[in-house]
Structure 1
Amino acid sequence: MKIPEIYQGDSLKSLIDGDAEPDGWREDFFCEHFNPRYSMSWQGLRGERFKYARYTDQDPPYEFLHDLENDPDELVNFAKNPEYAAISTKLRLRTRSLAEKYANANLETE
């Protein structure tokens, strides 16, 4: 089956078949939600240890940073914690980069 050009990602067939991880296996997952009619718009990034999200309708955006290793229930927001400043900056920039990369996807909207 031919994969449409607007789709991001790779085949998981080798992983499902029990072979190796696909070449270029990504280390994080970008997601976004834009439907201001029902909730605030947000963008986020999920890696193995950290989860970062920001509400984009606010200026400046309200940010969340969760350390899934030390706080698996996501009860603490580490976004303003100085000990997490470097990782907050890294994930903020990565989220911004991916948002810009996918901003021009030719997706059909209602």
Structure 2
Amino acid sequence: MFNVVSYLIFLAAASFITIDVGRRCYQAGKFYLEYLIHDKHLCLTINRILLGCYYLINLGYIAISITTWDRISSLEQVFAITAIRIGNIMLILCVLHYINIFTLYLLRKNLTIK
């Protein structure tokens, strides 16, 4: 019973965070990519690919994360385990975001040197 409650809370929170962050990064990423690449069509394509990969990685992690949970036997464990899992999702999102920004920066730097 407690596992089902924890799964539902986790799925709702993780889905909301993933979709909201993806949407915000997609919107803000347009301008950043245009600044770096100077080709609107290429920027739009890259931005869509990044969004698709972002969703696939996060949804895959969410699915795998649920399968590795132990049995939850109290309400305190529901909140503790769910908070830890949501925190992991947020950290992964942060790391992926900065990796993307750094990679695009390096690509732009290499394009301007040539």
Structure with the greater relative contact order (CA < 8 A, sep ≥ 6): 1 or 2? 2
Both structures adopt the same fold (TM-score exceeding 0.5) = no
TM-score (norm 2): 0.31
Q: Hey, which of these two has a bigger chunk of helix by percent?
A: 2
TM-score (norm 1): 0.32
